[in-house]
Amino acid sequence: MVDTSVGNARTSRLARDWATLCRLLRERGLLASLEHVWTTALIRAHAILADRKRLAWEAVPSAGYAPVRRNEVVGESAEHGFDYAPTPCLVLDWVLDALPIAPGETTLVDMGSGRGRVVLQAATRPFKEVVGVEHSAELHAAALANRAAFPSALRKARAITLMNRDAAETVLPEGPAVLFFFNPFGEEIMGRVLSRLVRSDAAGTLCVFGAVRGIDRLAGAYGLAPVRLPLATRIRLALLSPMRIALYRVPERPGLRSGSNIPAAEERRPASASSP
């Protein structure tokens, strides 16, 4: 008996792609439609040619898209968060390779960590700590399962912490830090997070934004300073990344004491975190 499931799945996907393309042509014109086709092709190329083999150890595959169930979300961001989509491993590599940081002194925080892909790929580098913050209980559980399956031979980070909580309420790390935002939530929550950043003792913190609409305007409104990646990295990302990457740094705030604008109770609020 011939198994037609694979063929049917491909036919269904092609039908969805064609319907999407027709809708884009009607609503947004030819240029936007071509951009969508190219972006979709890049996403699939990364998934098939790079991510699949590299992430074969995962207990819960981090590939593909997944809707977030609003009734399983922690905090007030249920109406402002976006559905899950993974970050291509190579895009993450290109960005991390180019950051002006000393990993051994730096904490990396992925805001909207999903199934843990960015956190666990960052853990293959000698960071002081890698932290994932995810408001979906279901996605957080998948990240925990993937951390348990993460090969010890790959781990170089000193600590891996996963939190099931609202990113807007997360206590920021002390010392040098890199914050990753790969389109985790809308402008309202992003504004709250950036507001906390500029009000806290976070000067020098690097913020990496991927596929975040209006981030240049929003970052400018909160006084973040743009950082230029090396030319080779910018070219690689422009040609081969399915998402736009923007890098900003939290500037110095004259006269600001450590934590001066964040209540002590908020600084010490316990998190529902799990770390080995």
Give the pLDDT confidence of 133-166 residue by residue, as tens digits: 998 999 999 999 999 999 999 999 999 999 999 8
* Same structural domain, 87 and 139: yes
pLDDT (0 to 100) of residue 274: 45
The total domain count for the chain is: 2
| pLDDT band at 257; cut points 50, 70, 90 | very low
Q: What is the pTM of this model?
A: 0.79
Q: Each residue of 63-80: pLDDT tens digit?
A: 988 887 765 776 666 565
* Same structural domain, 44 and 84: no
All residues at 6 or more sequence positions from 260 whose CB lies less than 8 Å from its CB, including other chains: 201
Position 64 in a domain = no
Position 65 in a domain = no
Position 137 in a domain = yes
Q: Which residue has the tokens 């929003």?
A: 218
Q: Which residue has the higher pLDDT, 179 or 269?
A: 179
* Same structural domain, 76 and 21: no
Position 62 in a domain = no
* Same structural domain, 44 and 173: no
* Same structural domain, 111 and 246: yes
Position 82 in a domain = yes
Position 61 in a domain = no
* Same structural domain, 40 and 142: no
d(CA 133, CA 112): 5
* Same structural domain, 251 and 185: yes
| CB under 8 A, 24+ apart: contacts of 231-234 | 233/94, 233/95, 233/97, 233/98
Contact 116, 146 (CB under 8 A): yes
pLDDT (0 to 100) of residue 66: 84
* Same structural domain, 125 and 248: yes
* Same structural domain, 152 and 225: yes
Position 153 in a domain = yes
- Residue 41's domain comprises 1-54
* Same structural domain, 3 and 101: no
Task: Tell me which of 10-24, 33-47, 214-228 is least confident.
Answer: 10-24
Contact 89, 121 (CB under 8 A): yes
CATH of the domain at 101: 3.40.50.150
* Same structural domain, 154 and 244: yes
Q: Is the pLDDT of residue 260 over 80?
A: no
Strands (E), the chain: 107-111, 129-134, 160-164, 177-182, 206-210, 225-226, 245-249, 273-274
* Same structural domain, 162 and 202: yes
d(CA 252, CA 224): 10
Position 181 in a domain = yes
Q: Is the pLDDT of residue 196 over 80?
A: yes
